[in-house]
Homo-oligomer: A and B are copies of this chain.
Amino acid sequence: MAEKLTIVKVGGKIVEAPDTLARLLDDFAAIPGKKLLVHGGGRSATQLASRLGVETVMVDGRRVTDDAMLEVVTMVYGGLVNKRIVAGLQAAGVNAVGLTGADMDVIRSVKRPVKEVDYGWVGDVSRVDGDALARLIDNNIVPVIAPLTHDGHGNILNTNADTMAGATACALARHYDVTLVFCFEKEGVLLDENDSSTVVDRLDRARYASLKSKGIIVGGMIPKLDNAFTTIDAGVAEVVITKASNLCDLSRGTHII
């Protein structure tokens, strides 16, 4: 039977504030066995952009990335946020290595074609080198992946961290028994968004369709869950949607099956 691998995706909000970052690093360090972290960093990028007089333009929740914004996200995601996490994990005894998709060519993407919107230097993941990542992981190294990829022609591309986590989980499902954890601001998928005791413990496609049709699952949760079901179809053993502060107990949250 394949060895267990836990892939955690955590958003910018958690990794950008010193107190929530410290808690996350402790909880992530405590996860037993092989693991990998994918992080965001959007809030810091917006802050730095603002300080530099670079305007932040979002379309459907995605950042339009012109030359100036590409510099900002390369600095913030690949430098500031990624290296702080790596240094913090090293201090917690986790042998982390910070990677973008360009590093060791682990995640390649294609610049998003211009349709109604020109997103600029934004990439859609085309290939994850699971073998290269598995070689690191088998050497007890923990990859910490920033939401940047490359096109193989020298261009860095701003890339959605949820999608990267999903694609990475799929590529590593050939090597490991993968649990993919999306850290979320709430306890999981809630039947009543104002009541954290209404977490949906287990969610299969039938129940997902039913909750969508009733308008209980809406908005930004839908692409997240679609992404989760896609990874399950691709061989990922389990997807968990949970609160970052519950990372120490993965029996909580919503389990996609």
What residues of chain A have their CB less than 8 Å away from a CB belonging to chain B? 48, 51-52, 71, 74-80, 82-84, 86-88, 90-91, 95-100, 102-105, 135, 139, 141, 148, 150, 152-156
Contacts and interface: CB of A to CB of B under 8 A. Distances in A.
Interface centre among A79, A84, A156 (most CB of B within 10 A): A79
Contact of A103 (B97, B135, B152): B97
Copies of this chain, whole number: 2
A148 to B, nearest CB: 7
Contacts of A91: 152-154
A81 B86 CA distance: 18
A97 B136 CA distance: 12
Given A95-B105, A97-B99, A104-B141, A78 B82 contact: yes
Contact of A95 (B75, B104, B135): B104
Contact of A155 (B76, B79, B87, B95): B87
Contacts of A156: 83-84, 87
Nearest to A154: B91
A203 to B, nearest CB: 36
Interface centre among A76, A83, A88, A141 (most CB of B within 10 A): A83
A80 B88 contact: no
8 contacts: A52-B52, A71-B80, A76-B79, A79-B79, A90-B154, A91-B152, A91-B154, A97-B104
Contacts of A103: 86, 96-98
A205 B126 CA distance: 54
B102 A100 contact: no
A207 to B, nearest CB: 42
